[in-house]
Chains A and B, each alone.
Chain A
Amino acid sequence: MERKKILTVALSICIVLSLVTLAFMTACPSPAPPAEKTLKIGALLSVSGWYSVIDALEAAEVQAVAEYINDEGGITIDGQKYQIELVIEDCKSTFEGITAAANRLVYDKGVKFVVGPTAFFSTASSPIFEQNKILHVSGYSTAQPGELDTSTPYGFIGHNCSVADCIAGIKAIKEEFPDVKKVAIAIPDDGSIPYLIPKVKRALELQGYTVVGDTIGHPNEMEDFSPIAAKLNAIEDADAYLHINGAPPHLGNVLKGLRELGNNKPYITTSLVSCHVIAAIAGTGGATKAISLGITPHAPGNPPQLDAICDKLGTQYEEQGVIYLMTGNSLWVLAQVIEAAQNLDPTVVKEKWESMDTVETLFGTGILSGDETYGIQNHAIGHPMPYQKLMGGEVSFGGWVDVGAIP
């Protein structure tokens, strides 16, 4: 009797699971063969697992960018129009998932150009791409070894990297809080501190700021970041706090902790986390006097292509409060360079990319640079960046800052 019951339950669970699977599989229509020639571009994004909080949105954005390029006529090479066929592979937020996905893209799908994965995840896929001479364009970089250096001649960054975002953050302070002179730095301790912090400090000094206090590295995973907020608060000389590479939980909770301590100094994040997200975590009491880099649709100064893609994404900004467009911008830049190279061979495109000075990005004209930071010429990019302000719980568009060439 008991066994029968268990069997029934197990069977029903199996049925439900298989139905869910089936429903999903049928819901994905197999793309009809397009009349024009297609160019396969792979995208490595962690659609499941802990990183999906960012990459599931990025997947939709990359899709929107690809559609936009296709609507505009695709990539034209020697008069022949190529439609982009995007192949998104799930990285499962683990290194094993990334290597499996990268192998599948290279060997099973036969792609020659890949966008993603983001930041340090790209270290896992680079060896596979380099061996097969596949051009891979990451959406972000934290300047750690293996992400982008002389060992990755086929690797590029198609969006502002961590260093560029720091420059953007510093310029945003200058715009919004001109009387700030001394800055304290916080950063998650993910191994990037020894590589990134000297560069950030130099960029700060170039802009006329002094760094005060020790760099506050914090564990990547903590439930409560109030000890970090207390530590920042204890640096009394600081006029403002700069939080580098912080993920949304870090930023929201540190800001909340600071404001709870009665600290009202400006708090600037250099990650691409929309102020809406920070406000959602920090709560109404904590969300004030903060700046974050992030896209606001239809803000003054937005290039037309950026607005068009924001429109394509529909209500994502209203519902999720954020548009990242890191990998999306990489795809856009990649398409621009392929068109400039007039060739579909990754090696030719790579050489063209290295020889170009500027390239059109979704955010305006980007300057190819980063020779000193990455030890490899023209593989990184610096382009204008919009920022948002968070004042009294209200999010507003702040303005655009020009990053210029990164060192």
Chain B
Amino acid sequence: MLARIQSIRRRLDALRIALLSPSSEEIVNCLPALEEAVPSCHQLELELPDDSDPLARLEIRIALHALQSDLQIAGRLIEHGAALHQGWAMLLAAAVGGYVATGAPAPLTAGGTVSLEG
């Protein structure tokens, strides 16, 4: 069970490193490993040790707390990265089309239309 938790943590760490970089390619590259981690997490629930091994329970409890921390870090990085890029996109959009009265960027409109007749 500990090995499974460590495996999930390794995948999360790869995601964390990818999220530090602004490139979306690295994040996309992590997705298959994360998808594999999901069933592993479900399997954890089924493999809780019985009461006869208190040492194992302590080790697993501490490992699960560490996994929880890693998930928190990854979650915050995703939220923060999304917020950064979203804010930047709003600034760029406003730089092109200005703002509306509510303070939101104005929607981009095409300068003209192209018609094709065949």
Whether chains A and B associate is no
B residues within 8 Å of A by Cβ? Answer: none
